[in-house]
């Protein structure tokens, strides 16, 4: 951890980090007004940290350890395409938060179809999010906790995806609901899994509209009050229609103060702590850093294959 922490500090001192808040994909990053003081800053260094700046050997050693973790997850989660390697397939970064910086509630991945045509251009999508904290002597009073919003209770079903269709919501709090956009009709439908078989819930097949998207509108009345969408315009700035940077930042601020979800888990970012979670189904945020020190972490995403790849 010491070598990675020193590497991150060296890279920051040499101007290798960039402000990188929650991106509203409907507008350009330049329009969104990210700042060094109030937003996360990121060092990407190319795919798999391939840049030779800083302590490349320390990052390579760490990368090799994370590769072993990825291979283990591929087996235990039954996500075989996680094992596939390749340039720009998996992401590794450093994150840096100054005192006062924070990050609003969001998901790390959304269903490809909710992104429009560009959602199908990469061939892979974020599957597993990981974080390794590098903050020596960090305590709860220093702030910067990762706040996660899991469902309160145990689900017996797999979450995140089913047969490579991504989850978009919950029924009756714990039952995953998936979006299938490869129907014979050429349109989409919402479904759940009952006795290992799909049960379509929507009234009829539909075309996924442009953002903001409210999937509840396609459900019959018997399900509407029982359905909760994971990401919506209210709950995730990256799931909204086009707006300006100030509005996007205001949305982030409101999400940090949101009291809708009373069940959450806070993770204090102590050095050496490893956090792993599904990129599709777990909303999360980073609370404001109250320490005078910087909050530093190695972070990234393991990718798996998408259901479809649109060649550009």
Q: How many other CB atoms are found less than 10 A from the CB of residue 46?
A: 12
Sequence-distant (≥ 6) Cβ neighbours of residue 307 within 8 angstroms? 112, 164, 165, 182
Least-confidence region, from 125-129, 230-234, 265-269, 292-296: 230-234
Residue with tokens 């018997």: 222
- The better pLDDT of the pair 157, 24 is held by 157
Q: What digits encode the pLDDT tens for the residues 88-105?
A: 689 999 999 999 999 988
Dihedral angle computed from the Cα positions of residues 205, 191, 237 and 267, in that order, rounded to the nearest 10 degrees: -170
The arithmetic mean of pLDDT across residues 219-228, rounded, is 96
Structure tokens at 238: 């990256």
Mean of all residue pLDDT scores within the chain: 87
Q: Are 213 and 206 in contact (CB under 8 A)?
A: no
Give the per-residue pLDDT at 245: 47
Is residue 249's pLDDT more than 70? no
Is residue 260's pLDDT more than 70? no
Q: How many other CB atoms are found less than 10 A from the CB of residue 253?
A: 13
Q: How many other CB atoms are found less than 10 A from the CB of residue 309?
A: 13
First to last CA, the chain: 40
Q: What digits encode the pLDDT tens for the residues 226-245?
A: 999 998 776 676 666 655 44
Query: Which class does domain 2-149+258-305 fall in?
Result: mainly beta
Give the per-residue pLDDT at 241: 60
Q: What digits encode the pLDDT tens for the residues 57-66?
A: 999 999 999 9
Least-confidence region, from 4-8, 113-117, 186-190: 113-117
Rounded to whole angstroms, how far apart are CA atoms 180 and 164? 9
What's phi and psi for 159, nearest 5 deg?
-115, 165
Is residue 85's pLDDT more than 90? no
For the chain, the structural domain boundaries read 2-149+258-305
| Strand 165-171 to 227-229 pairing | antiparallel
Rounded to whole angstroms, how far apart are CA atoms 271 and 282? 23
Is residue 285's pLDDT more than 90? yes
Is residue 134's pLDDT more than 80? yes
Give the per-residue pLDDT at 153: 81
The DSSP bridge partners found for residue 299 are: 93, 131
The DSSP bridge partners found for residue 266 are: 147
């Amino acid at each position: 951890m010491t070598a990675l922490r020193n590497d991150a500090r060296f890279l920051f001192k040499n101007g290798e980090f960039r402000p990188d808040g929650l991106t509203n994909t409907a507008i350009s990053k330049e329009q969104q007004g990210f700042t060094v003081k109030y937003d996360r800053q990121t060092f990407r260094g190319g795919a798999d940290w391939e840049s030779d700046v800083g302590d490349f050997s320390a990052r390579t050693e760490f990368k090799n350890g994370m590769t072993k973790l990825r291979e283990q997850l591929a087996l235990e989660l039954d996500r075989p395409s996680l094992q596939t390697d390749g340039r720009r397939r998996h992401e590794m970064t450093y994150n840096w938060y100054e005192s006062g910086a924070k990050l609003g509630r969001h998901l790390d991945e959304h269903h490809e179809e909710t992104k429009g045509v560009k959602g199908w251009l990469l061939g892979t999508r974020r599957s597993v999010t990981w974080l390794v904290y590098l903050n020596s002597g960090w305590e709860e009073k220093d702030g910067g906790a990762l706040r996660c919003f899991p469902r309160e209770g145990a689900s017996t079903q797999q979450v995140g995806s089913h047969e490579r269709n991504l989850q978009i919501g919950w029924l009756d709090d714990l039952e995953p609901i998936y979006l299938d956009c490869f129907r014979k009709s050429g349109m989409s439908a919402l479904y759940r899994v009952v006795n290992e078989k799909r049960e379509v819930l929507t009234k009829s097949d539909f075309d996924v509209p442009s953002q903001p998207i409210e999937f509840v509108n396609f459900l019959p009345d018997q399900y509407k009050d029982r359905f909760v969408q994971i990401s919506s315009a209210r709950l995730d700035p990256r799931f909204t229609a086009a707006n300006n940077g100030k509005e996007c930042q205001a949305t982030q601020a409101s999400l940090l103060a949101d009291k809708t979800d009373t069940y959450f888990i806070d993770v204090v970012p102590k050095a050496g702590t490893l956090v792993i979670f599904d990129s599709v189904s777990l909303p999360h945020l980073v609370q404001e850093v109250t320490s005078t020190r910087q909050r530093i972490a190695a972070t990234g995403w393991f990718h798996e294959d998408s259901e479809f790849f649109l060649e550009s």
